[in-house]
Amino acid sequence: MAFSTTVGTAGKATMDDVYDAIFALELAYVPGPYYGVIAHRQAADIQEASRAEGGAYQFTTPAADILKIKGPGFFQNILGIDFWTSSKVNTSGGRRLGAVWGQSAMGYRTGTVKPAPGAIMVRPDSMIAIEFERRGTAALSRIIGHGYIGMSIKEDSRGATLSTSA
């Protein structure tokens, strides 16, 4: 899954790549806020590039943003984009294919499961099905949860692939 608009360089990820992603979204009239998911290597490269960044960026104070709790995988807010890192970022031909997108670019659907014969389920019509399993001879009780979700690009023009190598 990748957006058809692509920004990035043939080398390491740079701050210019982040700016290019912002410009691509702004030119496509994508409303904010913006989000991004990048590979760990891309995050390290951007972090390294930001150390030498001049201009207006050098006067930002990201330390407070870095300390805010955002959840697992949160990297940092760079120029208004909340970036997360993931080991699941796609690769193709030696390139890492991160992404930056705005509102309504991505969509998701949840699925439900029908109760299996003999299963004791709580709220099988909800997003998470809770099932109880009991094995009396082993004195074992289990509570099992199942959730089914799928994500996809809903509107291609509201995002950009951040493609870098190295």
User: Do the beta carbons of residue 37 and residue 3 sit within 8 Å?
Assistant: no
pLDDT at 63: 54
- Per-residue pLDDT for the chain (166 aa), expressed as one digit of tens each? 679 899 988 888 888 899 999 999 999 999 989 999 999 999 888 888 877 776 666 556 655 555 566 667 888 888 888 899 999 888 888 889 999 999 889 988 887 777 777 766 666 567 777 778 888 898 898 888 878 888 888 999 999 999 998 6
pLDDT at 123: 63
- Look up the domain containing 52 and give its range: 6-105+155-164
Q: CB pairs under 8 A, 24+ apart, for 17-22?
A: 17/46, 17/162, 17/164, 18/46, 18/78, 18/79, 18/81, 18/100, 18/162, 19/79, 20/160, 21/81, 21/100, 21/160, 21/162, 22/79, 22/80, 22/81, 22/100
pLDDT at 27: 94
- Say whether pTM exceeds 0.75: no
CA gap 163, 10 in Å, rounded? 8
Structural domains counted in the chain: 1
Tokens of 78: 């760079």
- Residue 149: inside a domain: no
Phi first, then psi: give them for residue 69, nearest 5 degrees: -80, 120
- Residue 122: inside a domain: no
- Residue 58: inside a domain: yes
CA gap 39, 33 in Å, rounded? 20
Tokens of 138: 């082993």
Cα 120 to chain centroid, rounded: 35
- Residue 88: inside a domain: yes
pLDDT at 55: 66
- Residue 49: inside a domain: yes
Beta bridge partners of 127: none
- Residue 145: inside a domain: no
